[in-house]
């Protein structure tokens, strides 16, 4: 089982991930859909390591708790996803022992 925090750290620091385009998909509670955002637009919130910050369309900051992240894409292919009920599904490119 690979927690989302480990996936985010791997994307940021693993040389094997350099040159790839990553996107995160989180649940929009209002629309009930998954919203895809470029990894480069996200920042961890200072003092709150379980929250991502994303610039909103109107300039306001959107805060996304990590438990709402459902999928990660690498070059358009699902790299990691969280199944319904919270169980994690490992997909290609994610080494659980890495």
The answer to whether position 67 is within a domain reads yes
- Rounded average pLDDT over 17-45: 91
- Phi/psi region, residue 86 (left: phi>0; alpha: psi -120 to 50; beta: rest), is left
Return d(Cα 85, Cα 75) in angstroms, integer: 26
The answer to whether position 78 is within a domain reads yes
Return d(Cα 67, Cα 82) in angstroms, integer: 9
Express each pLDDT in 37-92 by its tens digit: 999 998 887 777 788 988 877 888 888 999 999 999 999 999 999 876 654 544 55
Q: What pLDDT was estimated at residue 15?
A: 95
The answer to whether position 84 is within a domain reads yes
The answer to whether position 96 is within a domain reads no
Q: What pLDDT was estimated at residue 22?
A: 97
What is the domain extent for residue 52?
Answer: 4-90
The answer to whether position 97 is within a domain reads no
Counting the structural domains of the chain, the total is: 1
The CATH number of whichever domain residue 42 belongs to comes to 2.30.30
Tell me the pairing of strands 77-82 and 48-55. Answer: unpaired
pTM of the entire predicted model? 0.78
Q: What pLDDT was estimated at residue 50?
A: 87
């Amino acid at each position: 089982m690979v927690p989302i925090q480990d996936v985010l750290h791997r994307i940021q620091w693993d040389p094997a991930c350099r040159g790839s385009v990553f996107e995160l998909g989180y649940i929009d509670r209002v629309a009930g859909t998954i919203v895809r955002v470029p990894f480069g637009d996200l920042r961890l919130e200072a003092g709150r390591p379980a929250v991502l910050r994303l610039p909103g369309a109107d300039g306001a900051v959107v805060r996304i708790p990590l438990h709402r992240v459902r999928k990660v894409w690498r070059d358009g292919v699902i790299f990691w996803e969280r199944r319904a009920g919270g169980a994690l599904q490992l997909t290609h490119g994610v080494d659980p022992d890495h």
